[in-house]
Amino acid sequence: MSDVKKFMFVNRKAPYGTIYALESLEVVLITAAFDQDVSLAFLDDGVYQLKKGQQTKGIEIKNFSPTYRALEDYDINKLYVEKEALEARGLSAEDLIVDVSVVSRAEMGKLMDEQDVVLSF
Amino acid sequence: MLHIVNKSPLSSSTLESCMNTAVGGDILLIEDAVYAATAGNAFESKLRAAMGRFKVYALQPDLEARGMGDKLMDGVTAVDHGGFVDLAASNKNCQSWL
Amino acid sequence: MANIEVGGKSYETDEEGYLINLTDWNTDVANYIAKTESIEMSDQHWEVINFLREYFDEYQIAPAVRVLTKAIGKKLGPDKGNSEYLYGLFPYGPGKQACKIAGLPKPTGCV
Protein backbone atom coordinates (compact mmCIF):
# COMPACT_ATOMS: atom_id res chain seq x y z
CA MET A 1 0.00 0.00 0.00
CA SER A 2 1.39 3.36 -0.97
CA ASP A 3 -0.43 5.39 1.67
CA VAL A 4 1.28 3.72 4.63
CA LYS A 5 3.29 6.29 6.52
CA LYS A 6 6.06 5.85 9.03
CA PHE A 7 4.91 7.05 12.45
CA MET A 8 7.30 7.32 15.37
CA PHE A 9 6.25 8.00 18.94
CA VAL A 10 9.08 9.56 20.89
CA ASN A 11 8.90 8.96 24.64
CA ARG A 12 11.18 11.06 26.83
CA LYS A 13 9.35 11.26 30.17
CA ALA A 14 9.31 8.98 33.19
CA PRO A 15 5.97 7.32 34.03
CA TYR A 16 3.63 8.57 36.82
CA GLY A 17 5.37 11.91 37.56
CA THR A 18 3.60 13.37 34.53
CA ILE A 19 0.78 12.09 32.32
CA TYR A 20 2.84 12.01 29.09
CA ALA A 21 3.83 8.33 29.20
CA LEU A 22 0.26 7.09 29.64
CA GLU A 23 -1.11 9.51 27.03
CA SER A 24 1.49 8.33 24.54
CA LEU A 25 0.62 4.68 25.13
CA GLU A 26 -3.08 5.36 24.59
CA VAL A 27 -2.47 7.24 21.36
CA VAL A 28 -0.21 4.41 20.18
CA LEU A 29 -2.97 1.84 20.78
CA ILE A 30 -5.47 3.98 18.89
CA THR A 31 -3.05 4.58 16.02
CA ALA A 32 -2.57 0.82 15.70
CA ALA A 33 -6.08 0.61 14.24
CA PHE A 34 -4.99 2.56 11.15
CA ASP A 35 -2.49 0.00 9.83
CA GLN A 36 0.45 2.36 9.61
CA ASP A 37 4.14 1.65 10.09
CA VAL A 38 4.40 2.46 13.81
CA SER A 39 7.53 2.53 15.90
CA LEU A 40 8.19 3.61 19.47
CA ALA A 41 11.36 5.33 20.62
CA PHE A 42 12.41 5.55 24.25
CA LEU A 43 15.12 7.98 25.19
CA ASP A 44 16.16 10.14 28.15
CA ASP A 45 13.84 9.46 31.11
CA GLY A 46 11.43 7.70 28.73
CA VAL A 47 13.40 4.48 29.19
CA TYR A 48 12.08 4.34 32.77
CA GLN A 49 8.62 3.59 31.32
CA LEU A 50 9.78 0.08 30.47
CA LYS A 51 11.42 -0.75 33.83
CA LYS A 52 10.43 -4.17 35.13
CA GLY A 53 8.78 -4.66 38.51
CA GLN A 54 6.62 -1.53 38.79
CA GLN A 55 4.28 -1.74 41.81
CA THR A 56 1.96 1.24 42.01
CA LYS A 57 -0.31 0.24 44.88
CA GLY A 58 1.41 2.67 47.25
CA ILE A 59 0.82 5.71 45.02
CA GLU A 60 -2.71 4.74 43.99
CA ILE A 61 -2.09 5.19 40.28
CA LYS A 62 -2.82 2.49 37.71
CA ASN A 63 0.28 0.50 36.77
CA PHE A 64 0.17 0.64 32.98
CA SER A 65 3.51 -1.05 32.37
CA PRO A 66 1.92 -4.47 31.59
CA THR A 67 0.22 -2.84 28.60
CA TYR A 68 3.57 -2.51 26.81
CA ARG A 69 3.51 -6.32 26.61
CA ALA A 70 0.22 -6.14 24.68
CA LEU A 71 1.76 -4.01 21.90
CA GLU A 72 2.71 -7.21 20.10
CA ASP A 73 -1.01 -8.13 19.83
CA TYR A 74 -1.53 -4.73 18.22
CA ASP A 75 1.18 -5.58 15.63
CA ILE A 76 3.54 -2.99 17.06
CA ASN A 77 6.92 -4.65 17.13
CA LYS A 78 9.39 -1.82 16.59
CA LEU A 79 10.53 -0.63 20.00
CA TYR A 80 13.80 1.28 20.05
CA VAL A 81 15.61 2.17 23.27
CA GLU A 82 18.58 4.50 23.37
CA LYS A 83 21.70 2.81 24.71
CA GLU A 84 23.19 5.95 26.25
CA ALA A 85 19.94 6.69 28.09
CA LEU A 86 19.88 3.21 29.61
CA GLU A 87 23.50 3.44 30.69
CA ALA A 88 23.06 6.87 32.29
CA ARG A 89 20.34 5.29 34.45
CA GLY A 90 22.23 2.18 35.49
CA LEU A 91 19.92 0.01 33.40
CA SER A 92 20.31 -2.60 30.67
CA ALA A 93 17.94 -4.40 28.31
CA GLU A 94 17.44 -7.12 30.96
CA ASP A 95 15.79 -4.55 33.23
CA LEU A 96 13.01 -3.93 30.70
CA ILE A 97 9.54 -5.48 30.65
CA VAL A 98 9.55 -6.15 26.86
CA ASP A 99 12.03 -7.14 24.18
CA VAL A 100 13.44 -4.05 22.50
CA SER A 101 16.12 -3.02 20.04
CA VAL A 102 18.81 -1.12 21.89
CA VAL A 103 20.29 1.49 19.53
CA SER A 104 22.95 4.16 19.89
CA ARG A 105 22.01 7.83 20.03
CA ALA A 106 23.38 8.25 16.50
CA GLU A 107 21.25 5.37 15.19
CA MET A 108 18.22 6.83 16.98
CA GLY A 109 18.78 10.12 15.19
CA LYS A 110 18.83 8.34 11.85
CA LEU A 111 15.64 6.40 12.64
CA MET A 112 13.90 9.67 13.51
CA ASP A 113 15.07 11.21 10.29
CA GLU A 114 13.45 8.41 8.26
CA GLN A 115 9.96 9.05 9.63
CA ASP A 116 7.02 10.70 7.89
CA VAL A 117 5.43 11.70 11.20
CA VAL A 118 7.04 12.08 14.62
CA LEU A 119 4.85 12.48 17.70
CA SER A 120 6.59 13.67 20.84
CA PHE A 121 5.67 12.87 24.40
CA MET B 1 14.80 22.73 56.90
CA LEU B 2 13.21 19.91 54.89
CA HIS B 3 13.74 20.23 51.14
CA ILE B 4 11.24 18.32 49.01
CA VAL B 5 12.13 17.58 45.38
CA ASN B 6 9.88 15.84 42.83
CA LYS B 7 11.74 16.09 39.50
CA SER B 8 14.06 13.57 37.87
CA PRO B 9 17.66 14.83 38.11
CA LEU B 10 18.37 13.68 34.55
CA SER B 11 15.65 15.79 32.94
CA SER B 12 15.49 18.81 35.25
CA SER B 13 18.04 20.90 37.14
CA THR B 14 15.76 21.22 40.18
CA LEU B 15 17.61 18.82 42.48
CA GLU B 16 20.95 20.32 41.51
CA SER B 17 19.63 23.85 42.22
CA CYS B 18 18.34 22.67 45.56
CA MET B 19 21.67 21.14 46.52
CA ASN B 20 23.64 24.14 45.27
CA THR B 21 21.46 26.68 47.05
CA ALA B 22 20.34 25.17 50.33
CA VAL B 23 22.82 25.33 53.20
CA GLY B 24 21.93 21.89 54.57
CA GLY B 25 19.26 19.88 56.33
CA ASP B 26 17.08 17.06 55.03
CA ILE B 27 16.29 16.35 51.39
CA LEU B 28 13.26 14.18 50.65
CA LEU B 29 13.09 12.78 47.13
CA ILE B 30 9.54 12.07 45.97
CA GLU B 31 7.82 11.19 42.65
CA ASP B 32 10.31 11.31 39.73
CA ALA B 33 13.09 12.62 42.00
CA VAL B 34 13.50 9.13 43.50
CA TYR B 35 15.42 8.17 40.34
CA ALA B 36 18.28 10.29 41.76
CA ALA B 37 18.72 7.75 44.53
CA THR B 38 18.87 4.63 42.31
CA ALA B 39 22.14 2.75 41.98
CA GLY B 40 24.15 3.43 38.84
CA ASN B 41 22.33 6.53 37.61
CA ALA B 42 24.43 9.37 36.20
CA PHE B 43 23.50 11.76 39.03
CA GLU B 44 24.53 9.32 41.77
CA SER B 45 27.97 10.85 42.36
CA LYS B 46 26.53 14.36 42.70
CA LEU B 47 23.99 13.19 45.22
CA ARG B 48 26.67 11.30 47.11
CA ALA B 49 28.87 14.41 47.20
CA ALA B 50 26.02 16.36 48.80
CA MET B 51 25.44 13.78 51.51
CA GLY B 52 27.93 15.47 53.82
CA ARG B 53 25.69 18.49 54.07
CA PHE B 54 22.31 16.82 53.69
CA LYS B 55 20.58 13.76 55.06
CA VAL B 56 18.80 12.24 52.06
CA TYR B 57 15.50 10.35 52.09
CA ALA B 58 13.45 8.77 49.30
CA LEU B 59 9.75 7.92 49.37
CA GLN B 60 9.39 4.14 49.23
CA PRO B 61 5.97 3.99 47.47
CA ASP B 62 7.42 6.14 44.66
CA LEU B 63 10.45 3.86 44.37
CA GLU B 64 8.22 0.78 44.18
CA ALA B 65 5.87 2.36 41.63
CA ARG B 66 8.84 2.88 39.34
CA GLY B 67 10.22 -0.64 39.75
CA MET B 68 13.12 0.75 41.76
CA GLY B 69 12.33 -0.71 45.18
CA ASP B 70 15.47 -2.86 45.06
CA LYS B 71 17.75 -0.27 43.46
CA LEU B 72 18.07 2.26 46.26
CA MET B 73 21.69 3.41 46.62
CA ASP B 74 23.25 3.06 50.06
CA GLY B 75 23.33 6.14 52.23
CA VAL B 76 19.76 7.10 51.31
CA THR B 77 16.97 6.25 53.73
CA ALA B 78 13.64 5.00 52.39
CA VAL B 79 10.56 6.35 54.16
CA ASP B 80 6.85 5.63 53.80
CA HIS B 81 4.08 8.24 53.92
CA GLY B 82 4.19 8.17 57.72
CA GLY B 83 7.92 8.90 57.56
CA PHE B 84 7.18 11.83 55.24
CA VAL B 85 4.87 13.27 57.89
CA ASP B 86 7.48 12.71 60.60
CA LEU B 87 10.09 14.57 58.55
CA ALA B 88 7.73 17.47 57.97
CA ALA B 89 6.92 17.57 61.69
CA SER B 90 10.48 17.28 62.95
CA ASN B 91 11.81 20.08 60.74
CA LYS B 92 11.20 23.71 61.63
CA ASN B 93 9.97 24.41 58.11
CA CYS B 94 10.01 22.94 54.64
CA GLN B 95 10.49 24.02 51.08
CA SER B 96 9.16 22.36 47.93
CA TRP B 97 11.44 22.71 44.93
CA LEU B 98 9.04 22.52 42.00
CA MET C 1 -22.83 8.89 36.65
CA ALA C 2 -25.62 6.38 37.23
CA ASN C 3 -26.41 3.41 39.41
CA ILE C 4 -27.69 -0.10 38.86
CA GLU C 5 -29.41 -2.21 41.52
CA VAL C 6 -28.53 -5.91 41.62
CA GLY C 7 -29.57 -8.22 44.44
CA GLY C 8 -30.29 -5.31 46.75
CA LYS C 9 -26.86 -3.76 46.19
CA SER C 10 -26.13 -0.58 44.29
CA TYR C 11 -23.30 -0.31 41.76
CA GLU C 12 -21.94 2.84 40.15
CA THR C 13 -21.82 3.02 36.36
CA ASP C 14 -21.10 5.72 33.81
CA GLU C 15 -23.80 7.13 31.49
CA GLU C 16 -23.30 4.27 29.05
CA GLY C 17 -23.62 1.58 31.70
CA TYR C 18 -19.96 0.61 32.20
CA LEU C 19 -19.05 -0.22 35.80
CA ILE C 20 -16.97 2.50 37.45
CA ASN C 21 -15.15 0.19 39.88
CA LEU C 22 -13.58 -2.89 38.33
CA THR C 23 -13.71 -4.64 41.70
CA ASP C 24 -17.52 -4.35 41.81
CA TRP C 25 -17.88 -7.04 39.18
CA ASN C 26 -19.46 -10.42 39.89
CA THR C 27 -21.52 -12.88 37.87
CA ASP C 28 -24.84 -11.43 39.10
CA VAL C 29 -23.82 -7.98 37.90
CA ALA C 30 -22.69 -9.51 34.60
CA ASN C 31 -26.04 -11.26 34.12
CA TYR C 32 -27.86 -8.02 34.94
CA ILE C 33 -25.87 -5.95 32.45
CA ALA C 34 -26.34 -8.69 29.83
CA LYS C 35 -30.09 -8.47 30.30
CA THR C 36 -30.03 -4.69 29.75
CA GLU C 37 -28.18 -5.45 26.51
CA SER C 38 -30.82 -8.07 25.59
CA ILE C 39 -28.26 -10.84 25.70
CA GLU C 40 -29.08 -14.30 27.04
CA MET C 41 -25.81 -15.51 28.55
CA SER C 42 -24.62 -18.94 27.34
CA ASP C 43 -21.40 -20.88 27.92
CA GLN C 44 -20.09 -19.36 24.69
CA HIS C 45 -20.76 -15.87 26.03
CA TRP C 46 -19.02 -16.66 29.33
CA GLU C 47 -16.03 -18.00 27.47
CA VAL C 48 -15.54 -14.61 25.83
CA ILE C 49 -16.25 -12.70 29.06
CA ASN C 50 -13.72 -14.76 30.99
CA PHE C 51 -11.19 -14.36 28.22
CA LEU C 52 -11.60 -10.58 28.33
CA ARG C 53 -11.19 -10.49 32.10
CA GLU C 54 -8.03 -12.58 31.90
CA TYR C 55 -6.68 -10.34 29.14
CA PHE C 56 -7.34 -7.26 31.25
CA ASP C 57 -5.75 -8.84 34.28
CA GLU C 58 -2.61 -9.58 32.29
CA TYR C 59 -2.27 -6.38 30.22
CA GLN C 60 -4.41 -3.77 32.03
CA ILE C 61 -6.39 -2.92 28.89
CA ALA C 62 -9.55 -4.03 27.20
CA PRO C 63 -8.33 -5.07 23.74
CA ALA C 64 -9.62 -3.51 20.52
CA VAL C 65 -12.01 -5.77 18.58
CA ARG C 66 -9.38 -6.66 15.99
CA VAL C 67 -6.95 -7.67 18.74
CA LEU C 68 -9.62 -9.54 20.68
CA THR C 69 -10.61 -11.51 17.58
CA LYS C 70 -7.03 -12.51 16.87
CA ALA C 71 -6.25 -13.37 20.50
CA ILE C 72 -9.39 -15.50 20.83
CA GLY C 73 -8.46 -17.30 17.63
CA LYS C 74 -5.07 -18.09 19.13
CA LYS C 75 -6.52 -19.39 22.38
CA LEU C 76 -9.89 -20.92 21.42
CA GLY C 77 -9.38 -21.78 17.77
CA PRO C 78 -10.17 -20.18 14.41
CA ASP C 79 -13.87 -21.15 14.51
CA LYS C 80 -14.23 -18.70 17.41
CA GLY C 81 -11.57 -16.18 16.45
CA ASN C 82 -13.61 -14.50 13.73
CA SER C 83 -15.94 -11.53 13.75
CA GLU C 84 -18.94 -13.53 12.50
CA TYR C 85 -18.86 -15.73 15.60
CA LEU C 86 -18.18 -12.87 18.01
CA TYR C 87 -20.81 -10.54 16.52
CA GLY C 88 -23.20 -13.48 16.63
CA LEU C 89 -22.77 -13.54 20.40
CA PHE C 90 -22.60 -9.77 20.87
CA PRO C 91 -24.58 -8.14 18.03
CA TYR C 92 -23.73 -4.57 19.02
CA GLY C 93 -20.01 -5.25 19.02
CA PRO C 94 -17.90 -7.72 20.98
CA GLY C 95 -15.75 -4.82 22.15
CA LYS C 96 -18.44 -2.59 23.54
CA GLN C 97 -21.00 -5.13 24.76
CA ALA C 98 -18.69 -7.87 26.02
CA CYS C 99 -16.48 -5.38 27.84
CA LYS C 100 -19.50 -3.87 29.52
CA ILE C 101 -20.72 -7.28 30.70
CA ALA C 102 -17.17 -8.18 31.78
CA GLY C 103 -17.06 -5.07 33.96
CA LEU C 104 -14.17 -3.56 32.00
CA PRO C 105 -13.76 -0.07 30.57
CA LYS C 106 -14.55 0.58 26.93
CA PRO C 107 -11.80 -0.86 24.72
CA THR C 108 -8.93 1.51 24.07
CA GLY C 109 -9.24 2.78 20.53
CA CYS C 110 -12.98 2.22 20.46
CA VAL C 111 -14.81 5.35 19.31
The structural domain count of chain C equals 2
Helix axes C65-76, C43-59, angle to 10 degrees: 110
Domains and CATH numbers, chain B: 2-97 (3.40.1260.10)
How many helical (H) and strand (E) elements, i.e. helices and strands, does chain A have? 3, 5
Does C56 share its domain with C71? yes
Average pLDDT over residues A61-75: 96
pLDDT in the model for residue B43: 98
Question: What's the pLDDT band for A71 if we cut at 50, 70, 90?
Answer: very high
* CB of B67 closer than 8 Å to CB of A52: yes
pLDDT digit string, tens, across residues C20-51? 999 999 999 999 999 999 999 999 999 999 99
Domain residues for C87?
Answer: 43-101
Long-range CB pairs of C21-27, under 8 A, 24+ apart, other chains included: C22/C56, C22/C103, C22/C104, C24/C103, C25/C53, C25/C102, C25/C103
CATH 3.40.1260.10 fits A6-120, yes or no: yes
Task: Name the residue facing C108 among A29, A66, A69 (closest C-beta).
Answer: A29
C110 included as an active-site residue: yes
pLDDT in the model for residue B60: 98
Does C87 share its domain with C61? yes
Give the residue from C91, C96, C90, C94 showing the smallest Cα distance to C110: C96
Does C27 share its domain with C53? no
Give the span between the Cα atoms of B47 and B76, in whole angstroms: 10
Q: Which of A59, A69, A86, A91 would best serve as a mutation to test chain B binding (most B beta carbons within 10 A)?
A: A59
Does C97 share its domain with C68? yes
How many helical (H) and strand (E) elements, i.e. helices and strands, does chain C have? 5, 2
Report the predicted TM-score, pTM, of the whole model to 2 decimal places: 0.91
* CB of C64 closer than 8 Å to CB of C108: yes
Establish whether chain B is in contact with chain C, requiring a minimum of 3 CB pairs below 8 angstroms.
no
Residue C50 lies in a domain: yes
pLDDT digit string, tens, across residues C54-77? 999 999 999 988 899 999 999 999
Domain CATH code at residue C80: 1.10.10.370
Q: What angle do CA A49, A53, A56 make, to 5 degrees?
A: 75
Give the residue from A6, A2, A1, A4 showing the smallest Cα distance to A114: A6
Average pLDDT over residues B42-68: 97
Give the residue from C26, C108, C51 showing the smallest Cα distance to C11: C26
3-state secondary structure of B37: helix
Contact C60 A62 (CB under 8 A): yes
According to the per-residue pLDDT averaged within each range, which of B89-93, C4-8, C93-97, C103-107 is highest? Answer: B89-93
What ipTM describes this predicted complex?
0.91
- For the cut 60, the answer to whether the pLDDT of residue C110 exceeds it is no
- For the cut 80, the answer to whether the pLDDT of residue B50 exceeds it is yes
Provide, rounded to the nearest whole percent, the portion of chain A with pLDDT above 90: 94
Amino acid letter for position A95 = D
Is B48 in CB contact (< 8 Å) with chain A?
A: no
